[in-house]
Structure 1
Amino acid sequence: MPTAIAVTSPDLVLPAPDPHTPPAAVFSSPDVQPLDDALAHAHRLLDVHGHLVVLYPESLPAAHEQRLHTVRSILESDRIALLRSPLPPLGLAVLARQLCQLSVCDFSPGVLASAARLLAHYVHAGAVLNSVTRLDRVPVGLKTHAKSWLPGSHFAVLAHPVPQLVRIGAGDLEGPDYACHLLVASAAAPSEWVTGTLAAGWQVAAVLEAPLPGYSPGWWGTAKLTEFAAHLSDLSVLYQLVASVRRESCRWCGMELIGDRCGFCASPVPAPELRLPSGGTYS
């Protein structure tokens, strides 16, 4: 069975792009999901899928994050990976769906978990905001803060992979240089600047809409926003991207991984000059 992928809110579960992609599971907040229910849910997922990868945002309330660690500790399971992501909510939802797509491929649980950091680099996540006065996750200068008070001001912000901020009409955001889709979410009608100007400038192949995640207003500091995430959608491209990276075994837990950190135990991969030679000892 494919490795189970989970998120921390139902609105981070995007529709599957094809009939073969399983949906992400959900571990809701402690005030919604009692501990016994969370434990039973995790136990069932492990019984069926063998391993579980949980994605959650850096902005997750402390009590909710602690609940995830409590579930893993009580179950005493080294088969649960808890991945804390800096991506904005919509970008995180995109990443979760990409992992769900890849879960049906022939990647081991360790490679799948560590692939989250690789794939995140190819998610261009941002938003159009009417104010940046409460935006604390992207560097904002005092001059820009002052302009937030001007009537009719709107700002385009890219939070990931490289922070950017421009006032709409006075600049453009640098986007991906590869074919991608653009997912857009808004509490009201999406910003025409996103669906028109940005989509054309980034030459996206398709513009799709999704409900605005509940985490988004808090993450961006305002409820008046249009969130967007440009991403790779083709499974064959995602597969090739992950498959092209060298695989190693974690020196701590033994899981297979790609990149510089194990997704399950978070142990870093030693720099090449610090690794033991093939004989196991230094001369």
Structure 2
Amino acid sequence: MLQIVLPVALPPVPLYDVLAPPLLTLDTRDHGDIDEMVDELGAACTRAAHTLLIVPSWLDPATRVRLRTARRLLQPAPLSLVEVHVPPLALSVLARQLTVLSEAVAEPSRLASATPLLTRELVIGACLSSISGYPHGSVPLHAHLSSYLPWTAFVAMLGPAGGVARATAWRPPASTAMRRTRLLHGRPGTKGTGWARAAVALHLGASTAEEVPQAPQAAAWWGSRRVVEFVAAIEDPQELLNAVLAAPARPCQWCGATVIGNSCPFCAMAAPHPAAPTGHAPQRTGPACLGSRGAE
């Protein structure tokens, strides 16, 4: 089983009505000393056969350096460190997906290396009251000027089809058309952002929409004091599992672990050539991988 660890505390998300192992949070604010961080990470590694530490890019640089150093010092412990560039709510969703899948995917290395795949399956964005401080892409001048108009709101989306648009004229790109999805969004805080539940759910084709607590890191990540994050995620966990199991995988030439992509999440060795599908079917654990058994 793969244990999921986050180096920052985030509000939980009500995604998937199945039991899953608890998400472990490492409070890095109290770890100015590298020895303390190594001790706590080492203790976490003893609780499970494999551990995946997900490090967001918005964590302060000094803490990220200490986490990488701790990971190197703990080798050869089965600990993988994966860095992701997603906002706080998307990180909560990603962590929940990984904990749910951790009991259904027999090979921890396959699931750990599927993190970029799971991220691409999310539709990530936010409603902003202003884009004057938006740090994740170029914004047209006319959009900057309209930020100063009263009751103006904008939609910012991430990914290849991302961008910024006025909320009144926003429509999601065709590339975001997904299967049955559940929309999770923060609490609308102003008159200009109160459209989130109805408008975003409608345009993204989400079957349900649910309000979640706003992460305290959201305002800094999106560059706006008034922000409503939203994430549309695949609603059926079995469909998510099928996507992970169907992804082309290969054995790592260094440690032999089955991985998706070009880098092994545990020994960090890169593939010398493009990945090729393995010749055997992926293994699952148990006859009913993801049956609904109650909320976490």
Judge same fold: TM > 0.5, yes or no: yes
- Deviation sequence 1:224-266 (CA, Å, 0-9, x none): 0100000113221111111112221122343210123322344
Provide the secondary structure at the position in 2 that maps to 1:201.
helix
Cα contact 2:105–2:111 (8 A) shared by 1: no
- Deviation sequence 1:61-84 (CA, Å, 0-9, x none): 012112211321332335211111
Cα 1:75/1:268, change in 2 over 3 Å? closer
Determine the structure 2 residue equivalent to 1:81.
80
Determine the structure 1 residue equivalent to 2:152.
153
1:141 & 1:78 partners in 2: Cα distance? Answer: 48
One-letter code of the match for 1:178? R
Cα contact 1:130–1:225 (8 A) shared by 2: yes
Structure number with higher relative contact order (C-alpha < 8 Å, ≥ 6 residues apart): 2
Determine the structure 1 residue equivalent to 2:134.
135
> Which consecutive residues of structure 1, in runs of 5 or more, have no partner in the other structure?
275-283
Q: Does 1:72 align with 2:86?
A: no
Cα contact 2:16–2:237 (8 A) shared by 1: no
Cα 1:189/1:20, change in 2 over 3 Å? farther
One-letter code of the match for 2:142? K
Determine the structure 2 residue equivalent to 1:218.
220
2:247 to 245, 248, 255: 245
Determine the structure 2 residue equivalent to 1:44.
43
One-letter code of the match for 2:106? F
1:75 & 1:172 partners in 2: Cα distance? Answer: 47
Provide the secondary structure at the position in 1 that maps to 2:47.
helix
Provide the secondary structure at the position in 1 that maps to 2:250.
strand
Determine the structure 2 residue equivalent to 1:278.
none
Determine the structure 2 residue equivalent to 1:28.
27
Determine the structure 1 residue equivalent to 2:263.
261
Cα 1:78/1:105, change in 2 over 3 Å? same
Give the aligned length: 273
> Which consecutive residues of structure 2, in runs of 5 or more, have no partner in the other structure?
277-296
Cα contact 2:109–2:257 (8 A) shared by 1: yes
Cα contact 1:127–1:228 (8 A) shared by 2: yes
> What RMSD over aligned residues (CA atoms) do the two structures have, in Å?
2.4
1:16 & 1:47 partners in 2: Cα distance? Answer: 28
Scaled by the length of structure 1, what TM-score is found?
0.87
Scaled by the length of structure 2, what TM-score is found?
0.84
Cα 1:210/1:273, change in 2 over 3 Å? closer
- Deviation sequence 1:37-82 (CA, Å, 0-9, x none): 5333322322221211111211110121122113213323352111
